[in-house]
Chains A and B, each alone.
Chain A
């Protein structure tokens, strides 16, 4: 089947890790700040968006997904999609109004 010789030689350098770390810290601070503001029903949405950006950064940069082959990326996307659907279905049992 597929050849197992696809070796990725890449050295992204430490700089990018530092910047991602900085971005994560900033976003965490942002979450904490925004928690004090009342967005009403939207507050959960805002918190989730910030969390999603953070996980994206961790997955692509820290966990090297950026450099992996397509199959791995599909695996991760399917897992996230599955998880999202579960959460949506679960929330169909909870009323927020």
Chain B
């Protein structure tokens, strides 16, 4: 390939970012690249590998729970499995996933910028991510074994357990820094690097969702960082911060942990909502309904979502005042989420809907996220929550929100943007088959959790009463179906990257945001000339054509 990055090939295209290696060659052209697109791809490779580890652990947990008395592993290993599954899926997969893969790759392009505001900081954040993630994996093999406290690291377990706790806490601390740096980078990029003419309300909604997420990342992540540091100090020096026998307060740990970890739910879900807000108008060929409402509801979620953390603690004996305030705020935070769901369905109404794979995933997102959200509301009610605390209901709820929401959101984004990223199209038929297997498997796996919880099955339990077994068996069978669907989906996508049909058209799906006006795959600095924006997003040409046709008929 030509070393001159402006050399034009036979078809008149410039070399894409995949070909143009810059100063360095081969693997170093990736590992030392500050190109936001290459960093996005590196995140994708790392993140999906860890996702595979997390899925394997989840699969093994389900296998273990096939019988009431222990099936494949001993209780200690089981505790380590569900802890690792949670830590990997939350801190390594869903928290960074959409911002760091698709945000990195598409945010600058959508804004009409050449890169993020701090490209080197971006690379540093990838390295921090990889170091933190590898430390989690190392904690499994090092003497002492993986943490066994659950992903919430509750006191006093996390102070007293003999496992590699400090190692795990440090790893999550480092992952937190990676997240903060990404947040700072995106906030600055959105403030400073929008193309000429792109006012705040001409930004795509994905950018708005990343803006809201950026604020939570920057403001809330330091709290969990300092909290984990305090647990390490407590373990090493026994200063009595959280240990009641030394005068500490274990509930204070829960407050500080959830001050981050509830907003983290919104770091997880808001970018996925951004993805859905991009996909829905494109595949219904309609301007999105209530653009400003969706944009502001992201900010609303960020603000209110930061003030509801103690709804995770209704059963620990908080003061009545606190319980009342936090229950009320929890109900309030449902409003901005519901606004989004209503606006998406209103966009669909009378649209000419095309059920392409990204759209199928987007519709599944709305359905599954609604179940997740509504089960959340149920637990926001004080009296019901006392009954449901620490049961499988919460496990079902979190999986509907985090997997049914963000996981499906990631799959939607993959099917929507992967052809743009690599210039190759996957097999759509296989993609649709995989979608249906995943969708069916998902519900067979997680819906019984809600029933189990309602019947009183406690979470994180190795043994259970025989009367619960039938639901556990159904769920385990569901996990097999789900994993089968995931394998087909990833195989199809990977195959498309290697040998899929080559796509060179700029606008693959007929979208209106700027990423569809660049070359496929994009060139190194995204645009030959920085575009000037003078249209609001989602102004559909299709609408105009229809409009003109109608006028002709009339």
B191 touches A95 (CB 8 A): no
9 example contacts (A-B, Cβ-Cβ < 8 A) are as follows: A1-B192, A1-B196, A79-B218, A85-B307, A92-B325, A93-B251, A93-B310, A93-B318, A93-B319
A71 touches B321 (CB 8 A): no
A82/B191 contact (C-beta < 8 A), A89-B325, A92-B325, A93-B319 known: no
A82/B322 contact (C-beta < 8 A), A1-B194, A71-B191 known: no
Q: Mark B220-233, 1 if CB is under 8 A from A, else 0.
A: 00010000000000
User: Which one of A4, A82, A92, A93 has the greatest number of beta carbons of chain B within 10 Å?
Assistant: A93
CB proximity of B123 to chain A, nearest CB, Å: 22
Query: CB < 8 Å: which of B193, B219, B255, B321 contacts A82?
Result: B219
Residues of B within 8 Å of A14, CB to CB, are none
Residue B438 at the A interface, CB < 8 A? no
Residues of B within 8 Å of A79, CB to CB, are 218-219
CB proximity of A89 to chain B, nearest CB, Å: 6
Query: CB < 8 Å: which of B218, B219, B223, B322 contacts A93?
Result: B322
List residues 294-353 of chain B with CB under 8 A from any CB of chain A. 306-307, 310, 318-319, 321-322, 325-326
Residue B259 at the A interface, CB < 8 A? yes
How far is it, in angstroms, between the C-alpha of A93 and the C-alpha of B318 when the chains are bound? Answer: 6
Interface size on B, residues (CB 8 A): 22
Query: CB < 8 Å: which of A71, A82, A95 contacts B319?
Result: A95
- Extra 20 A-B pairs, beta carbons < 8 Å, given A89-B326, A92-B319: A1-B196, A1-B198, A2-B192, A71-B191, A78-B215, A78-B219, A82-B219, A85-B307, A86-B259, A86-B306, A86-B307, A89-B307, A89-B310, A89-B322, A90-B255, A90-B259, A92-B322, A93-B251, A93-B318, A93-B321
Nearest-neighbor residue (CB-CB) of A95 within chain B:
B319
Residues of A within 8 Å of B219, CB to CB, are 78-79, 82
How far is it, in angstroms, between the C-alpha of A92 and the C-alpha of B310 when the chains are bound? Answer: 11
Nearest-neighbor residue (CB-CB) of B329 within chain A:
A89
Residue A18 at the B interface, CB < 8 A? no
B255 touches A93 (CB 8 A): yes
A94/B325 contact (C-beta < 8 A), A1-B194, A71-B191, A82-B219 known: no
Residues of A within 8 Å of B251, CB to CB, are 93
Q: Mark A70-89, 1 if CB is under 8 A from B, else 0.
A: 01000000110010011001
How far is it, in angstroms, between the C-alpha of A92 and the C-alpha of B307 when the chains are bound? Answer: 12
Interface residues on A, range: 10 to 19
How far is it, in angstroms, between the C-alpha of A94 and the C-alpha of B252 when the chains are bound? Answer: 10
A94 touches B194 (CB 8 A): no
User: Which one of A4, A79, A82, A95 has the greatest number of beta carbons of chain B within 10 Å?
Assistant: A82
A92 touches B321 (CB 8 A): yes
Q: Mark B186-197, 1 if CB is under 8 A from A, else 0.
A: 000001111010
Across the A-B interface, the 7 shortest Cβ-Cβ residue pairs: A93-B322, A92-B322, A93-B318, A1-B194, A92-B321, A93-B319, A82-B219
How far is it, in angstroms, between the C-alpha of A85 and the C-alpha of B303 when the chains are bound? Answer: 11
How far is it, in angstroms, between the C-alpha of A86 and the C-alpha of B222 when the chains are bound? Answer: 13
CB proximity of B201 to chain A, nearest CB, Å: 14
Residues of A within 8 Å of B191, CB to CB, are 71
Residues of A within 8 Å of B255, CB to CB, are 90, 93
A1 touches B321 (CB 8 A): no
Residues of B within 8 Å of A1, CB to CB, are 192-194, 196, 198
A82/B306 contact (C-beta < 8 A), A90-B255, A92-B322, A93-B319 known: yes
Residues of A within 8 Å of B306, CB to CB, are 82, 86
How far is it, in angstroms, between the C-alpha of A82 and the C-alpha of B310 when the chains are bound? Answer: 16
Nearest-neighbor residue (CB-CB) of A92 within chain B:
B322
A94 touches B319 (CB 8 A): yes
How far is it, in angstroms, between the C-alpha of A97 and the C-alpha of B232 when the chains are bound? Answer: 32
CB proximity of B1 to chain A, nearest CB, Å: 34
CB proximity of B496 to chain A, nearest CB, Å: 37
CB proximity of B472 to chain A, nearest CB, Å: 36
CB proximity of A72 to chain B, nearest CB, Å: 11
Q: Mark A1-40, 1 if CB is under 8 A from B, else 0.
A: 1101000000000000000000000000000000000000
Residues of A within 8 Å of B259, CB to CB, are 86, 90
How far is it, in angstroms, between the C-alpha of A92 and the C-alpha of B218 when the chains are bound? Answer: 25
